[in-house]
Amino acid sequence: MKKSSSKILLLIIIVVIIVGLSIAAVFMLNSNKTEDTNNGGQQVATSSSSYDGTAELGTPMEFTINKVTLPEKVGYQQSFEVDGNTWYYSLDAEGNAINIYTYGDFSGDVIIPDMLDGHKVISIGKIPTTTQNTLFYTSLGGEQYWNNITSITVPEGVKYINPEAFYGFDNLKTVTLPDSIIYIGSSAFESCKNLESINSDIPGKVVMPKNLQYYGESLFRGTYKINAFEFPEQINYIQSWTFYETHGFSDVTIPGQFKYIGIGAFASSDTTSLTVEEGVQIIGNSAFTMNKELTRVNLPNTVQSIGTDAFSLCTLLNEFNYNGKLSYIGKKVFDYTNVKDALASNQLP
């Protein structure tokens, strides 16, 4: 009799457990269905509530820079003498002189010719080779003739300045560019250490031609005296490495016309304070890294994306002002700064 009672009690306990588990399973299933319904039937990843710099948060924003098609040469290279100096050029399909360069011995103020043997010059600088400079080549003996050039005037009608055209002009101080320019290639003024102005009477200021449509990377990389810049409104980006390793900046203000600040755009420069105006949306990877003198950053609420290492190694940075909401932040943005906790959890993706 006792054995029978024990068996009945055990059976009751088992039934109770099974019923309890079944009820719990049904409750969880209904709960999940309700959550899926509220989220459109899709799983939603939970956002991180903190940023320790070890992982990316959110989805990177993309930015496309429009390109410019360069004129193609037809036929063989030709040459023509102007004021005792021989200029080499090719012709495009319309008979314009393109990709002009020279081995001439120039000094002081130089004016680029606007015509070569009846052909209108529209493109200056030979397409880059292993030579560092493409407009005034070294002689066979290695003498750098361009070291004696202090100013250059590019004539109206020229549309294209090819990459590295003025690379390493150590004593070049002033440049005059026409409004006909629509394209300036990568590194065109790189390592022009004494370059003081372009289209400006203000020392340190560069003003780009009003019809410019595109410029390439590293445009002013390694310059020492540029401290202000002005681009036409259709240029809505600061190209990668544009002001990398520049030594003329102090207080930098980036106008809101620039939606995108490219990779390494101001890296390793001497910027002490940075103000980004309303309108800028994307700060690229390493954009301001290694600005060892940078102490203060002011960002507008329009900034939505900050790339990996954007402000890393700015060892004096102790003030970071931003009240917006990010959709993306990369790794190590604030590594080796004094503002590692600059963002609140509700500002993160």
Residue whose token pair is 């604030």: 334
Vertex 309: Cα angle to 305 and 313 (nearest 5): 135
159: Cβ contacts below 8 Å, ≥ 6 apart? 122, 123, 180, 181, 182, 183
Q: Please provide the average confidence, as pLDDT, over all residues in the chain.
A: 86
Q: For 118-142, what is the mean pLDDT? A: 71
Tell me how far the alpha carbon of residue 290 is from its chain's centroid: 15
The domain ranges of the chain are 73-187
Q: At 34, is the secondary structure helix, strand, or coil? A: helix
Total Cβ atoms within 10 A of residue 317 = 25
Assign domain 73-187 to its CATH architecture. Alpha-Beta Horseshoe (3.80)
Rounded to whole angstroms, the Cα distance separating 187 from 132 reads 10
- Report whether pLDDT(139) > 70: no
pLDDT in tens, 162-206: 998 998 888 999 999 999 999 999 999 999 999 999 999 999 999
Query: In which region does residue 44 sit, left (phi positive, over 0), alpha (psi from -120 to 50) or beta (all else)?
Result: beta
Torsion angle defined by CA atoms of residues 300, 301, 302 and 308, in that order, rounded to the nearest 10 degrees: 80
Buried b / exposed e over 70-89, threshold 16 CB at 10 Å, is bbebeeeeeebebeeeebbb
User: Higher confidence at residue 50 or residue 132?
Assistant: 50
- pLDDT tens sequence across 223-268: 999 999 999 999 999 999 999 999 999 999 999 999 999 999 999 9
What's the mean pLDDT in 9-25?
A: 51
Decide: helix, strand or coil at residue 148: helix
Predicted confidence (pLDDT) per residue in 275-332, tens digit: 999 999 999 999 999 999 999 999 999 999 999 999 999 999 999 999 999 999 999 9
The helix (H) or strand (E) run that includes residue 11 is helix 2-38
